[in-house]
Amino acid sequence: NPLQGAQFMLAAHRLSQLPADEGAEVAFAGRSNAGKSSALNALTNHKGLARTSKTPGRTQQMVAFSLPPPRDGSPEQASQPARRLIDLPGYGYAKVPLDMREHWKQEIDAYLHRRRSLRALVLIVDIRHPLKEFDRLMLQFCADTGLPCHVLLTKADKLSRGAASQALAALRKQFAAEGLHASAQVFSSSAGTGVDEARNAVANLLQQ
């Protein structure tokens, strides 16, 4: 697993508290309850890494996880650039007060615009509820700035295999129609569907 060995670094309430902006990182975003924490845990093969089913409110922070350098056998492994995964605050939970939602919208926006080590966004979308307003906002941002975006259509185990493939095909068609260049795949943290594919996608994005 190319994402094995992830470790909690810190939780940041503002951009300035994030680790030094060097090396490479991939950020994970998604509406609250879409399955972002479960996806992070499945990808890193670390059950307790990101806390699942947390009370909203408490999720309003960015969490940084460090990854060890990729194992390529080179003797200079220790001097390789840092690699991180960033868990962005879940978005769109109705019970979070509006001013707090606005605050985080701005904070995420600032992060996406300013973070130089950011290589790509992984957008977690419940396969049964594709592309709500927040998802569109993120995709549009990626389209505008050229930031690569990879969509995990998660909770695929809730649909039949045929229905899941149809949802993926429909999403790709929509991307093409709207000029969005995101890649997408079917995913399920609980069934393990697409986990290897997503690990490789993230590892590749970190190398760019």
89 binds ligand GDP (CB under 6 A): no
Cβ–Cβ < 8 Å for 117, 145: no
State the nearest-atom distance from the C-beta of 3 to ligand GDP, in Å: 16
2 binds ligand GDP (CB under 6 A): no
By CB under 6 A, which span of 27-35, 72-80, 144-152, 194-202 interacts with ligand GDP? Answer: 27-35
The residue within the footprint of ligand GDP, chosen from 16, 53, 55, 79 (CB under 6 A), is: 53
State the nearest-atom distance from the C-beta of 166 to ligand GDP, in Å: 18
36 binds ligand GDP (CB under 6 A): yes
CA distance 66 to 26: 11
By CB under 6 A, which span of 66-74, 109-117, 145-153, 183-191 interacts with ligand GDP? Answer: 183-191
**67-100 in b/e burial notation, b at 16+ Cβ within 10 A?**
bebeeeeeeeeeeeebbbbbbbbbbbbeebeeee
Which residues are registered as beta bridge partners of 12?
A: 62
| Count of C-beta atoms within a 10 Å radius of residue 169 | 11
Which residues are registered as beta bridge partners of 150?
A: 122, 183
The residue within the footprint of ligand GDP, chosen from 25, 26, 27, 38 (CB under 6 A), is: 38
Contact footprint for ligand GDP (CB under 6 A): 30, 32-38, 52-53, 90, 154-155, 157-158, 188-190
